[in-house]
Amino acid sequence: MELYPLKFKPIFKERIWGGQRLREVFGKDLPADVKIGESWELADLPEDKSKIANGPLAGQTIDQVIAEFGTAITGKDDYRPPLPLLIKILDAQDVLSVQVHPDAATCKRTEKGDPKTECWYIIDAQPGAAIYKGLQPGTTKQQFADAIANGTCEEYLVKVPVKVGECHFLPSGTCHAIGAGLLIAEIQQPSDTTYRVYDWNRVDPNTGQGRQLHVEDALESIHFDPAGDNLSVNTLGRLVDAQEFKVDKGHQAAGCEVLLSKKMKVLLILSGSGQITAENTEPVGFDKGDCLLIPAAFEGVMNFSKECEYLIATVW
């Protein structure tokens, strides 16, 4: 069969800090009266594998399709699973925990977890919204450990006001937190290893207890050298150019066309709509909030019926 752009069914994650904005902004069919903090748009993790939502392959998981079609999807003769991207949209109605994700060296040294470098693209931000990115210059491991113990670690975090359209790169080992009032597209390595160091003294309403912290693992994982204001922020063109993945931003007016060359890429549609056409395949429509994987063997054209902004994620 002729391969075509693959769309996916989102995987919704209930979070104590979430809400319902993914329904309001992107029309996602969220469960009612549930705080949904994350919509996993493309995932290939052991417990969470995205299912295809369109065309003849509908219902199959992403790993099944890659196993069947191989290089026609990935473009890599030496591909080894999992797919090296995890794409999410986050609705932060409240501040997230202060946390860190380990890098590859830490995972190897501690013999646990998987590395996770990520970036955050700011889709929407309420007035005064901010993120916490990195530690104040000169912060030592002992200082931060003491601050965690006495509940004052916030004073060591770099608080960064954010604006719509910014993309913040966070390499693994960066201590961070997402502030309240933000809608964020998150592109990352395929890992769910998260070590919390502080959760703002919150209590989970379902359990009446505070969420689990992972202080020892976090202190082993944090890089105590980079300052938050030295971690890159971009707004146009190539947003991220890292070893783990690359992210570009596209912005096209209604009526424009863009050629999709033969290379595997993932598109996350932030606004607008249109369709992708090619010989021998049915057109595939797209709308804001959609995530599409373009197989390496596919060559077609994006046609925009409305002005559109979108992110393009590639890994090789």
pLDDT of 136-194, one tens digit each?
999 999 999 999 999 899 999 999 999 999 999 999 999 999 999 999 999 999 999 99
Say if residue 288's pLDDT is above 70: yes
User: Residue range 102-123: average pLDDT?
Assistant: 96
Peptide bond just before 190 cis, omega within 30 deg: no
Say if residue 241's pLDDT is above 70: yes
Q: How confident is the model at residue 230 (pLDDT cuts 50, 70, 90)?
A: low
Q: Is residue 1 part of a domain?
A: no
Residues 292 and 229 in one domain: no
Asked which of 238, 270, 286 is the last residue of a domain, the reply is: 238
Residues 96 and 123 in one domain: yes
Residues 306 and 197 in one domain: no
Residues 227 and 266 in one domain: no
Higher pLDDT, 228 or 155: 155
Q: How far is CA 195 from CA 37, 134, 140, 247, 302, in A?
A: 18, 15, 18, 25, 40
Q: Chain-wide mean pLDDT for the chain?
A: 95
Q: Is residue 279 part of a domain?
A: yes
- The pLDDT assigned to 68 comes to 97
Domain that holds residue 224: 6-238
Say if residue 96's pLDDT is above 80: yes
Residues 13 and 126 in one domain: yes
- The pLDDT assigned to 226 comes to 55
> One of 21, 23, 80, 196 is an active-site residue; which one?
196
Q: How confident is the model at residue 211 (pLDDT cuts 50, 70, 90)?
A: confident
Q: Where are the beta strands (DSSP E) in 126-278?
A: 130-135, 157-161, 167-170, 176-178, 182-188, 195-198, 233-234, 238-241, 246-252, 257-260, 265-271, 273-277
Count of domains observed in the chain:
2
**196 in active site:** yes
pLDDT digits (tens, 9 = 90+) for 52-84: 999 999 999 999 999 999 999 999 999 999 999
- The pLDDT assigned to 310 comes to 98
Given a contact cutoff of 8 angstroms between Cβ atoms, the answer to whether 270 and 309 are in contact is: yes
Parallel, antiparallel or unpaired: strands 233-234 and 167-170: antiparallel
- The pLDDT assigned to 97 comes to 96
Q: How confident is the model at residue 235 (pLDDT cuts 50, 70, 90)?
A: confident
Asked which of 191, 211, 238 is the last residue of a domain, the reply is: 238
Q: Is residue 263 part of a domain?
A: yes
CATH number at residue 293: 2.60.120.10
Residues 132 and 16 in one domain: yes
Say if residue 130's pLDDT is above 90: yes
Residues 104 and 192 in one domain: yes
Q: Is residue 135 part of a domain?
A: yes
- The pLDDT assigned to 141 comes to 96
Residues 137 and 169 in one domain: yes
Lowest mean pLDDT among 100-104, 129-133, 156-160, 198-202: 198-202
User: Residue range 190-200: average pLDDT?
Assistant: 95
Q: Is residue 23 part of a domain?
A: yes
User: Residue range 21-46: average pLDDT?
Assistant: 97
Residues 78 and 184 in one domain: yes
Say if residue 225's pLDDT is above 80: no
- The pLDDT assigned to 205 comes to 74
Residues 102 and 170 in one domain: yes
Residues 142 and 281 in one domain: no
Q: How far is CA 256 from CA 235, 275, 294, 306, 312, in A?
A: 22, 11, 19, 9, 17
Say if residue 105's pLDDT is above 80: yes
Residues 145 and 269 in one domain: no
Asked which of 191, 206, 238 is the last residue of a domain, the reply is: 238
- The pLDDT assigned to 206 comes to 75
